[in-house]
Chain A
Amino acid sequence: MSFFLEVLIGGLLAGVMYSMVAIGFVLIYKASGVFNFAQGAMVLFAALTFVSITERGVPFALALVITLAAMFALAIAVERAVLRPLVNAPPLSLFLATLGLAYVLEGLAQTVWGTQVHGLDLGISDAPIGAGAVSVSRFDLFAAATAASLVGGLGALFRWTRAGVALRAVADDPLAAIAVGIDLRRLWAIVWGAAGVVALVAGLLWGARVGVQFSLSLVVLKALPVLIIGGFSSIAGAIAGGLVVGASEKLAEVYVGPLVNGGIETWFPYVLALGFLLVKPAGLFGERSIERV
């Protein structure tokens, strides 16, 4: 039983990471209706930039500020170079543009900073903390706490700030939002910036775990089923979906994997998501769409 609990908790903590990527994704989807495939590339870009700066002797806090500035610069560039020219383009074109953007970011990050794997030490030990028969890594708890405070911060931001209210207005009805004078372009830049911040946090936490390397970019592939399960437009859904995917894929790998030669982690979340789709097509927290001719 304690083994089961350990696997479960390990999975849930991995799920926290998936949720973080999914949250960045939900932010952008809500504000601009863009299915942002580049979210994983943004995680890679942020983490690689941060690590490379610190490796050149820049102190932690300053490196954090520089990377944050870089992510906001990136957000403004994306708004100018990708979103603005593609206003009113069909959703498919926007999705493909973000696929192009992912290529640009991955290539750019690795051209500038190189392709080697960087270690990242955030100064938090990975020592296990025991609680009865179950032990949990201290780092994982730290990651979960960081993610929780990030979500809390974002929630507060969207509830009480001007930009947050504007975001909710745009998510509700873009045309009405424009009509009352919300600057959609500025809002897009802000939201992509916020998604960049989320990407940075996710990249640092995950990078400290597995090293900062190209595979960070592939996290987006885990975030997709998370989004399906949670719904594209709900942050709460992204969190719930991430936990469900993280826990179930680890349990499946441990208990079902050995029966079929293992390695089922790559596709299990997708099959799970498919199952969810067939039962609840709009996701756990998604909105049902109504169509008129």
Chain B
Amino acid sequence: MSSDASVWQRAREPGAAKLSARVVVRAALVLAAAALLVALPLLVDDYVLSAILVPLLALSLAGIGQNLVTGYAGQLFVGAAAFMSVGAFAAYDVHLYLPSTPLLATFAAGGLVAAATGALFGLPSLRIRGFYLVVSTLAAQFFVEWLFTKVGWFSGNSSSGVITAPPLRIAGVSFSSPGGHYWLSLLIVAPLTLAAHNLVRGRIGRGWMAVRDMETAAAVVGVPVRASKLLAFAIGSFYCGVAGALWAFAYLGTVEPHGFDLDRSFQILFIVILGGLGSVAGTFLGAAFIVLFPIALDQAVAAVAGRSVDPGLLQNLEKVLFGALVILLLAKQPAGLARLVEIAWIRARRFAARYAPRSRS
């Protein structure tokens, strides 16, 4: 947010004529980054694609949803996974009962059903605040898990209990390879990320932040507090729902309620905390950390011990380190990884400015 503010400030500086060159460089950088993202499947192997990048994109999307509700609108929300599972099951059911629906439409349907559910469970936020809201969202968590386990209709009454995700095919193009999964994820996540990025700077996003910072004051200056909250729950759940469908279809290849349990909700919450509350870009950093941390720890322990270690022990060790890191980060840098990267970037620029040749400023 702040970096873009400084771009606008610079645009009003006297030497604005030179700006066009800067804009060109910036646009070129953005294009290069986009090209790199699209070309990534050609550069990395299938393991990285299907075990790291696809879950990373899906979790980031869910993280954005969580961040919209918690980071921007300030509503405590501990059931992101519930809305992911609503999205996944809704998308699957649309595919199951209306087989001719195009793939992207099933994702949208998943998101919309999750949004409606999110608004429903967000209703108590009109009357209660703060920690009490944890209960409302946890109610969603447990109720939804129970519903999808007990009611067979949602999983098409399949006798084996195993659900196979629909073939990933858009307008005749198959997305079933690991690279295809990645491209499909990118195709869904990138526009939604841009949308969220713009949303939080508009009237709606500013209203959310006003509600977050002080609800009573926001109401006094004319922010529609109730509508803002419900909208935050709906849009946040929409993101979670699409993310859940993506997680089920592109990553797991199956839909099952227990994949969306309370631990998954905490995981999404941690993504947002680690990445930075109120930072869309930080969400991706948080998701990257969540996905890479266990893998890195696994490698590190194996390298130190010289052999593979008991996975149960490793899992507990991971929990200890992870919990300690969360506490450390909250104490040292409450604004999360996003702020750490920002600080590093500022330092790097300062460093460059000090040692760069002075002739072309």
Q: List residues of chain A with CB under 8 Å of any chain B CB.
A: 35, 81-82, 85-86, 89, 91-93, 95-97, 99-108, 110-111, 115, 221, 224-225, 228, 232, 260-264, 266-267, 270-271, 273-274, 277-278, 281, 291-293
Count residues of B near A (Cβ-Cβ below 8 Å): 49
Interface residue from B136, B273, B323 paired with A274 (Cβ < 8 Å)? B136
Interface residue from B130, B216, B319 paired with A104 (Cβ < 8 Å)? B319
Q: Could you tell me the distance in whole angstroms from the C-beta of B111 to the nearest C-beta in chain A? A: 24
Secondary structure dominating the interface of B: helix
The answer on a CB contact under 8 Å between A263 and B131 is no
B residues 197-228 with Cβ under 8 Å of A? 214, 216-217, 220
The answer on a CB contact under 8 Å between A96 and B326 is yes
Which A-chain residue is minimally distant from B133 (CB atoms)?
A277
Closest 9 CB pairs of A and B: A103-B323, A107-B319, A100-B326, A270-B139, A85-B331, A107-B320, A104-B323, A267-B142, A100-B323
Given A86-B331, A103-B326, are A263 and B135 neighbors across the interface (CB < 8 Å)?
A: no
Chosen A-B contacts, 10 in total, with CB atoms closer than 8 Å, are: A82-B327, A85-B332, A95-B76, A96-B273, A103-B319, A104-B323, A111-B316, A224-B134, A263-B149, A270-B139
Interface residue from A93, A96, A281 paired with B269 (Cβ < 8 Å)? A96
Interface residue from B132, B325, B327 paired with A228 (Cβ < 8 Å)? B132
The answer on a CB contact under 8 Å between A274 and B131 is no
The answer on a CB contact under 8 Å between A92 and B217 is no
B residues 139-174 with Cβ under 8 Å of A? 139, 142-143, 145-146, 149-151
What CA separation (Å) do A64 and B149 show in the bound complex? 42
What CA separation (Å) do A91 and B312 show in the bound complex? 33
The answer on a CB contact under 8 Å between B135 and A225 is yes
The answer on a CB contact under 8 Å between B320 and A111 is yes
> A232: which B residues are within 8 A, CB to CB?
131
The answer on a CB contact under 8 Å between A293 and B139 is no
What CA separation (Å) do A105 and B326 show in the bound complex? 13
Interface residue from B131, B145, B150, B151 paired with A35 (Cβ < 8 Å)? B131
> A263: which B residues are within 8 A, CB to CB?
146, 149-150
What CA separation (Å) do A270 and B127 show in the bound complex? 16
The answer on a CB contact under 8 Å between B214 and A270 is no
The answer on a CB contact under 8 Å between B331 and A103 is no
Which A-chain residue is minimally distant from B266 (CB atoms)?
A99
What CA separation (Å) do A97 and B334 show in the bound complex? 11
For residue B324, CB closer than 8 A to chain A, the reply is: yes
The answer on a CB contact under 8 Å between A86 and B135 is no
The answer on a CB contact under 8 Å between B139 and A273 is yes
The answer on a CB contact under 8 Å between B142 and A266 is yes
For residue B318, CB closer than 8 A to chain A, the reply is: yes
B residues 227-248 with Cβ under 8 Å of A? none
What CA separation (Å) do A278 and B44 show in the bound complex? 53
The answer on a CB contact under 8 Å between A86 and B330 is yes
> B317: which A residues are within 8 A, CB to CB?
107, 111
Q: Could you tell me the distance in whole angstroms from the C-beta of B329 to the nearest C-beta in chain A? A: 9
**Binary contact readout B80-111 vs A (1 if CB under 8 angstroms, 0 otherwise):** 00000000000000000000000000000000
The answer on a CB contact under 8 Å between B327 and A97 is yes
The answer on a CB contact under 8 Å between B132 and A266 is no
> B319: which A residues are within 8 A, CB to CB?
103-104, 106-107
The answer on a CB contact under 8 Å between A107 and B323 is yes
Which B-chain residue is minimally distant from A35 (CB atoms)?
B131
> B142: which A residues are within 8 A, CB to CB?
266-267, 270
The answer on a CB contact under 8 Å between B318 and A107 is yes
The answer on a CB contact under 8 Å between B313 and A111 is yes
The answer on a CB contact under 8 Å between A266 and B320 is no
What CA separation (Å) do A23 and B68 show in the bound complex? 33
> A91: which B residues are within 8 A, CB to CB?
130-131
> B266: which A residues are within 8 A, CB to CB?
99
